Structure 1
Amino acid sequence: MELLRTIAAPPAGAKAAEQPGRAGGDPKRRRPPPAEEPPALSRVVVDPTTGRRYCRGRVLGKGGFAKCYEMTDLTSNKVYAAKIIPHSRVAKPHQREKIDKEIELHRLLHHKHVVQFHHHFEDQDNIYILLEYCSRRSMAHILKARKVLTEPEVRYYLRQIVSGLKYLHEQEILHRDLKLGNFFINEAMELKVGDFGLAARLEPLEHRRRTICGTPNYLSPEVLNKQGHGCESDIWALGCVMYTMLLGRPPFETTNLKETYRCIREARYTMPSSLLAPAKHLIASMLSKNPEDRPRLDDILRHEFFLQGFTPDRLSSSCCHTVPDFHLSSPAKNFFRKAAAALFGGKKDKARYIDTHNKASKEDEDIYKLRHDLKKASITQQPNKHRTDEELQPPPASVAGSGTAGVENRQQVGDVIRMIVRGTLGSCSSSSECLEDSTMGSVADTVARVLRGCLENMPEADCTPKEQLSTSFQWVTKWVDYSNKYGFGYQLSDHTVGVLFNNGAHMSLLADKRTVHYYAELGQCSVFTATAAPEQFISQVTVLKYFSHYMEENLMDGGDLPSVTDTRRPRLYLLQWLKSDKALMMLFNDGTFQVNFYHDHTKVIICSQDEEYLLTYINEDRLSSTFRLTTLLVSGCAPELKQRMEYALNMLLQRCN
């Protein structure tokens, strides 16, 4: 892997992105003449402090001051990427200061998606920086071979870049040179952010240095306008990276640097029609001319580009040079083969599912069908969502969600509730004639009475009282609506997974991933292990595992509430769920009541604890606040919370309609 700039030519169509190198100060200023050639490097290098001997291998890359080599520790046989800087190239104080600053910043960083700093030393001729060796080289090499990447690959790599970049920003470090050549890939196809030659500490706006530095095609408007680098400048570069991955060329590529800078300052670039709408929207948001309009890193991962599309758990090394085939690997295929057999048996579905890449056998068709349906289930589309003409298609019946289900419906909460689908324990969810158990009705009536009493008597208020309580209740962190086939699945904060099947039965897989609780009706529980399930439950256990695996691998938690289990409380299981065009309602056996709002990802959770009712509100930033209902009754609450409470009550009252 390369650490620094690579010797190889840049990807096709990306010459302007890689060849100009870094711009420093005035772009018109000529570069100084090269320093004299440093002395020849020895094959074996000795650390004068420790006495350890290293064998220098092939060149990996080069930069302005240094070359990068493979370097093997002759004692441990461990291979490093060694950045070797001749003293003659950093003879001036400001040049040496730059290297010392890079070492000082990088040596303190420890993150899965940041190139690991191992050691540094110097001898009479050179400075040596030993870094994590990444054998798959850089993203620039991959794009040179591949020309463009698929959307699943882009999601795979961007998730890791965002993870590493978020860590850097939390350490108050700006990278300032994000580009394909500085993303390195290790043997396991994991991405590492590297090359901290231009990295700097984040400074307050008024103290930021106004230097123009970075790679020309990735510079942001505010940097070119000498307003200084901020976190938003790294986000801009990330938008350029995403664009380049998908299209094989940077967004602001022109025939000359002056025109490139003009396009950047105006945020003027083309968006080809070949890009799908979510990708276009995310790129456009990251390349907003105003830094304040760019998304935060957490917002990027909550964007529909990530929520609505498939992201592989891992990539094969063949993806470095070949378009990937995202068919299932053998272990996954075996898992889905069992699930498909349990769900479909030998029956032929009326719908035909044809794999356009392979002529599938009947078994493969069933597996493909299962995956196809799940892909539909991962689309968090709601009926009122606005879509562009190029992506209009019949809406899927299945919807998946978590605390970040991506829906762009911005209508106000509190008007007429339009029900879409519902499910109830011990009943047939597809029939309008289903009757509720009287005990279930009493649970719902109790919650409705308490919530209505609070709303009818609380005073008007402009803000919510400052009250933070410690809680130990369970709540739904992830959910999948697959009721068009099997049922509604959810994951609790203690990692218990439950499914309320379409036939009215409920099954839970506890956090130990072994114990199964089965409820045919309210209060009637059978307990067995997943590996020794009674024959009549085997197919449902298979579906339960399937839901559990999908939510664990594909959905993110919906808030910051701690996972605290109170063993004194009864096991939670879902009595009823109901979806409107704006929200999802879930009612549990102990009276816990949760409503998730699609458009801003907020949640209202009501539960009883120590004989009093508590309300927890999770805002659009996934931050939670918990209040006693008696406190809200006396003090009132902010209008946005009151509107959500009113809508939640209306859903509860209309649950049978």
Structure 2
Amino acid sequence: MATQQDQFAQMKKTVEARNYQQQRQLPPSSGAHPLPPSSARSQQPPPAAPAEQPTVDIPSIIPDSKTGLTYLRGKLLGKGGFARCFEVTETKTKSVFACKIVNKGLLLKQHQKEKMVQEIKIHRDLRHKYIVNFLSHFEDDANVFITLELCTKKSLMELQKRRRCITEPESKYFLRQIVQAVEYLHDEKHIIHRDLKLGNIFISEDICLKIGDFGLATTILFDGERKKTLCGTPNYIAPEILGKKGHSYQVDIWSIGCILYTLLMGRPPFETSTLRDTYRRIKRGEYTIPRDVHISTNAKNLLIKLLQVNPMIRPTAGEILRSEFMMQGFIPSTLPASVLVMAPRFDRPPNFGQSIIRTTAAPVAPPTVVIAPGNPLFKKPLGLANQPATGSSDGTASGGFIPPTAASVRSLAPSTAPHQQEPPALYCDMDTKDLMQNMISLRDQIRKIVSGKLPRTKDDDNAEDPSLCPLLWICKWVDYTDKYGFGYHLSDDTVGVSYNDQTKMILLPDAKSVHYIDKEGNESYHTMKHFPDELLKKIKLLKFFEQYMHDNLIKATDGRIPPPPSDCIARVPNMWTWFRSSRSVVMVLSSGTMQINNFRDHTKLILCPLLGAVTTLGSNKGMRTYSLSRMLEGGLSAELVERLAYALDKIEVIIGHSKENVSANVVESPAKKV
């Protein structure tokens, strides 16, 4: 077998990724690297994606003959047409990395091999704290292996889908890291990335950004050189690329503008229902800033500069860092992991004044499902008459009364220092109407799958998409509503209680910080040692629930890992609504995540309407996450169809009770229990 150096030497010639659009599907599957629409091309179907690389071809033990290191293949992190990415563990040091594995058999064309060489050549020489660290590359007869820094918190794309839009302090925190990395690429390495987008900006364990995927990157060889390759992603592609007049570093600046706009507004600036219209708007620079969006003048001014059609008047990376948007106002030095699902608050530091806590809309109680006295499920065995019903990883539970719940919270708080004349940031938390719309969207997605004549598969491998896996789910729960309320324990060590009086209390993973939500949805923040006297009883009950779940339900661990100090107050989802049947407990968090714990086979089904994803979590099969859209394309197993049909029934219960009377106590008919 030829050596690695010989193999790559044979590939090295022209390294421009010409006609790269053949390597990735056109929208809506991935939306990457299309040709501009034309009357001729618009009638042609997109090029077929290559066959996916079967997992069986990838060894469980991966040796690097060059270094003598051996890697143990772990869970799948993501997949595409040409590659799969796995978590791997180096067997000697037990260090954990990401490993991108490319099937050589799929690199059939010369330009595909050249693109592979180019990506490795560019990425391996980069060293920056905000760029994914390239560790090594090697090969065997079948595959090319690239080991990379592992970014455990996915990418900005998943964050934006969950959050929709983020606050200005968060956007400054993220923008500074992106621009510092781009400044390094442009000024020190003379590299254009050419595919900057939310999905290519990864998030590390400590919530730092890392730019990755250099498959379209290119090097500027001399001053004034203009590249002509047609490449990029529709929502982020610069007008000069579409114009085919040559492009340079400024295309990355345009993409940064699209990223910032999307994070602040909740949608890309030029997105339309058709590719043709999107390109037309890009070429003309047509976008709007909605009047009801609360962003600062400095943010608007920076967006205007970044999204200039004329590339020569866009700012450089260094000029972005020196802009008023970045130089004025508060930028947090760190962010808690909770920002991946909910906006933090920035009004805790003394120099930021007192917190403003009020709801933005009249609260509406979410639907509540109640099993009435007299229903057989209401009765407990005599020995359990004064004991709480519980649920844990083993799925055990007993019947009980379901309490009403309060509305979720949508808050306003100042995001900048008092001396700045800027509007307060609107935290894009979901209110009851948003959550109900999510339930309707989830119902419609699952209906298509359950009612459609989709092919049945032996397994669900083709529909699997680990990048969509949930960040938070309910690990344990305890129903003590005959006295106090419903308690639960989240996967990040958060403990929450929904009290019978429709108030809520949350103990954060640091085991010190306490959030209290009153009946109207107003939030207040305390600690376990410092709180108002009127909360004393509820603090004691919170401790009781925490201790009970720790002693009786939670498996032994190494203890909590305290989060690092932060400039903000971390916020986590609360329990929006929940109910129980003879077969399961159904819980919905205020982030929109719905979870069904099956009492019979001890399986958890976690559904996320915002990501279009469903996750199964069982004691034997582990966690697997699937894309609903991929199910529609390739089918699914009979077992998963059955689980989704049951979930659809429970979603209909929530929606149906909402239409009747969202504030009423409603009895779930025994006929609906399956």
TM-score scaled by length of structure 1: 0.48
Task: Please say which structure displays the higher CA radius of gyration.
Answer: 1
TM-score scaled by length of structure 2: 0.47
